[in-house]
Structure 1
Amino acid sequence: MNAGQQMTRRLASRAGQSICRSCRDSISRNTYATAAAAAVQTEDQLAQHIPPVAQASPSTSYAVNAGVVLSRPPQITRDLHPFEAAFFLYQRRLNERLALPFTRYFYFKKRTAADLEWKRKMKQRLTPARDIGRYQGYGDEAWNDEVLIGAKESDFEHQVGKLLEDVERSGLEDASEPTGAHKIEREPVDRPMPRVTEADEKNDTKSLNRALQRTLYLLVKNKEGQWQFPQDRLKDEHLHGAASRIITHAGGVNMNTWLVGHTPIGHYQLDYPEARTSGDLKEHGAKTFFLKARIMAGQVNLKENKLGLQDFKWLAKDELRKEVDGSYWRSIKNMLAER
């Protein structure tokens, strides 16, 4: 006799009367479900006390490496988008339009040296601000100050050239300048450095004086001929100490570098085709944990490097992708800055 039949008889005996068939079947079904749930719960509870079985041998392991993502940050601001350049030109022209109604005597007293210089320069350049092109704030055409698409006035290099030209002119070019002891000596004008360097033109990937608008990363060729970040195996040291050692052993002592933090910014796992024996352990692969670093001054020198490195390059993110292996790139791409 099962548990459901026993419960049915007990209920019938307590009530002193018989139970209809539908009620008896319902009681039996509920009892079976309850008993099954209790049995499953009991089995689950017992299973929780079973110790887990080790899936791998205790002698199986991975080699642990430390890697360094050494970067040079951008040195100059990025080039303006054409829309940004047009907007800034519009702002300067708007400022000039608002400033023109004020008389110059608000700024300069009549017949002073500053007033005479203002008159001379205005006569030559025909506008208060040379870099934004000619604009006449009075008359029927005062409203016509829009810049056409492709106009040279919106070009950054044109604006810089016009500003330098304005600084170099004294306003006396049309007049006969004095000679001898009374000749006017002009101060030299410092010109801005070009945004495109000689290293850019030669595509010198070993120079840090290139791609000044981008972040450059140090990529080295190891003794197996693979391009990767500088790395080496841990040797009874923590990651931060290993990263500091790797920088010196890879690039020499003539670099002023700074390790940004003690926490890895990412890792790369390499699985060997066949297990390798290292002492008493069988290594199935290597795991490299990368720390972030900056170079402040100096340059890489591989002549006395202790890691067997063959070559190096300073590359931006999109350039670096073309040099490294596909699986390596998928592991490191989120650690690198787009600009």
Structure 2
Amino acid sequence: MNAGQNTARRIASKTGSSICRSCRETISRNAYSTAAAATVTDNHTEALLNHIPPATSPSTSYGVQAGVVLSRPPVITRDLHPFESAFFLYQRRLNERLALPFTRYFYFKKKTPADLEWKRKIKQRLTPARDIGRYKGYGDEAWNDELLVGAPESDVNWQVERLLEDADKPAAKDEHNPGGEVEGLVQKDKVERDMVEKPMPRVTEADLKGDVKSLNRMLQRTLYLLVKNKEGKWTFPEDRLAGKEALHDAAERILVHSGGINMNTWLIGRVPIGHHEAKYPTAKSNELGLKTFFMKARIMAGQANLKDNKLGLADFKWLAKEEVQKTVDGKYWHSIKNMLAER
């Protein structure tokens, strides 16, 4: 007697009535399906149980700590590539050539400081843009207008110096109308030109002195805060998680405990940007090693101060990527190199 017939007999005995043939066949088929499904489920469960990894014992666990990749972004634009510099110079010279002939009185009213300045420049340079090379648009040598390799006009610093030199000079006197109202305009123009602001140098005093603790260095690059820990190793600011502390909360605490409260910082996101795994030579405190998860942050103002730090830090530096590589050990660098910007 099969499983379906047994099921039908049990139903009939409980209800006290007979079951028709069609119902009995239906019950028989359902019983077979249920039995097959149960067999498949048991096999699947057994396979899953066989593939479950064994529980990790406390002696094979890792300690967890948070680290902060605190950076100062570039302050100024980078230096031009030689090709970019040559292209911009070409565009400026081309614009200068296409501007001729120039109707002066359409733009400058006679006997105004602007008109006198234009006369002075034309008389001195024969072109209103001496910083990018003299140009004589008329004559037999008008075609000979290419800059030679190494010409000073192609240097950006040389161009800036020429522009500042022109801005510092007062307008020339009008030979036909000396003194009077025009002279007063010239003097007024001179006072205004004395107030010309000069651009700040791209190389700072901290660069010249090699001060690696200053944030006013390598203005074109991203700088990262490295600290010297108790073991004498250079790392990012790091510390163990306290209890059930989240990585984001731990990162905020580490910034205060390491660099002090004078740093105005901003934590970017709540997801780590990388991690570093270090194994102990011998197991300690039921741990094989330590895993550090790094959070990204920016410094907006202020400076690090280790005077009252609570992490036992001895020193700090603000370094660019290639400087970080030379400071940290090889395995640490292998874990963090892809988290740092090239510029």
TM-score, length-normalised on structure 2? 0.79
Question: Which deviates further from its counterpart, 111-120 or 161-170?
Answer: 111-120
Partner secondary structure for residue 322 of structure 1: helix
**Alignment-derived partner of residue 230 in structure 1:** 237
Counterpart of 2:264 (choices 248, 251, 256) is 256
Q: Percent identity?
A: 69
- Map of 1:212-291 to 2, 5 A cutoff? 212-236=219-243, 237-277=245-285, 282-291=286-295
User: 2: distance between equivalents of 1:82 and 1:59?
Assistant: 59
Distance verdict in 2 for CA 1:125–1:171, change over 3 Å: farther
Deviation of 1:308 (Å): 0.1
Counterpart of 1:332 (choices 312, 332, 336) is 336
Partner secondary structure for residue 218 of structure 1: strand
Question: Which deviates further from its counterpart, 109-118 or 75-84?
Answer: 109-118
Partner secondary structure for residue 164 of structure 2: helix
User: 2: distance between equivalents of 1:117 and 1:85?
Assistant: 28
Deviation of 1:205 (Å): 0.4
**Alignment-derived partner of residue 88 in structure 2:** 88
Distance verdict in 2 for CA 1:126–1:257, change over 3 Å: same
Structure with greater proportional helix content: 2
TM-score, length-normalised on structure 1? 0.80
**Alignment-derived partner of residue 48 in structure 1:** 47
Give yes or no for contact 2:234–2:327 (8 Å, CA) kept in 1: yes
User: 1: distance between equivalents of 2:340 and 2:66?
Assistant: 17
Partner secondary structure for residue 242 of structure 2: coil
Give yes or no for contact 1:124–1:171 (8 Å, CA) kept in 2: no
User: 1: distance between equivalents of 2:315 and 2:112?
Assistant: 66
**Alignment-derived partner of residue 28 in structure 2:** none
User: 2: distance between equivalents of 1:78 and 1:241?
Assistant: 35
Question: Which deviates further from its counterpart, 328-337 or 111-120?
Answer: 111-120
Counterpart of 1:189 (choices 179, 190, 196) is 196
User: 2: distance between equivalents of 1:200 and 1:221?
Assistant: 22
The residue identity in structure 2 corresponding to 1:323 is T
Q: Can you give the 5+ residue segments of structure 1 that lack an aligned partner in the other structure?
A: 1-40
Q: What per-residue deviation string (whole Å, max 9, x for no partner) do you get for residues 94-121 of structure 1?
A: 0011111242233234565543432222
Give yes or no for contact 1:221–1:309 (8 Å, CA) kept in 2: yes
The residue identity in structure 2 corresponding to 1:295 is I
- Map of 1:168-183 to 2, 5 A cutoff? 168-172=168-172
Deviation of 1:178 (Å): 6.7
**Alignment-derived partner of residue 317 in structure 1:** 321
Number of equivalences: 292
Deviation of 1:122 (Å): 1.2
Partner secondary structure for residue 150 of structure 1: coil
The residue identity in structure 1 corresponding to 2:225 is L
**Alignment-derived partner of residue 120 in structure 1:** 120
Deviation of 1:81 (Å): 1.4
Give yes or no for contact 1:62–1:283 (8 Å, CA) kept in 2: yes
Question: Which deviates further from its counterpart, 258-267 or 112-121?
Answer: 112-121
User: 2: distance between equivalents of 1:324 and 1:75?
Assistant: 25
Q: Can you give the 5+ residue segments of structure 2 that lack an aligned partner in the other structure?
A: 1-39
User: 2: distance between equivalents of 1:222 and 1:79?
Assistant: 35
**Alignment-derived partner of residue 97 in structure 2:** 97
User: 2: distance between equivalents of 1:109 and 1:173?
Assistant: 16
Partner secondary structure for residue 327 of structure 2: coil
Deviation of 1:189 (Å): 2.1
Q: What per-residue deviation string (whole Å, max 9, x for no partner) do you get for residues 32-88 of structure 1?
A: xxxxxxxxx9xx969615433516425532111000000000011111112211111
User: 1: distance between equivalents of 2:44 and 2:246?
Assistant: 42
**Alignment-derived partner of residue 75 in structure 2:** 75
The residue identity in structure 1 corresponding to 2:268 is V
The residue identity in structure 2 corresponding to 1:294 is R
